[in-house]
Amino acid sequence: MEFSLNTGQDYIELIKLLKVCGAADTGSEAKALVEDEMVVVNGEVELRKRYKVRKKDKIEVNGLIIDVV
């Protein structure tokens, strides 16, 4: 899936992206995914909940692939 970064900023926080894209229903669920090392950003496991996701980043979680454009 593609996510278009139109927030008025040049990034979106990782846990917010997970909620917006439907990978998590709540903020606490999104945080748990990160804490449980289930989120991969650009091929590396990401442990920072507030990681700044920017254009061209690729997020993988539970079989869902999110390309940020």
DSSP tag of 57: -
- 10, burial (CB in 10 Å: exposed 0-12, middle 13-18, buried 19+): exposed
Q: What is the pLDDT of residue 7?
A: 62
Q: What is the pLDDT of residue 62?
A: 94
Q: Please check the confidence at residue 8 and state whether its pLDDT lies above 80.
A: no
As a whole number, mean pLDDT of residues 2-20 equals 90
- Structural domains of the chain in order of their starting residue, each with its CATH number: 2-68 (3.10.290.10)
State the pTM of this model. Answer: 0.91
pLDDT tens across 16-60, in order?
Answer: 999 999 999 999 999 999 999 999 999 999 999 999 999 999 999
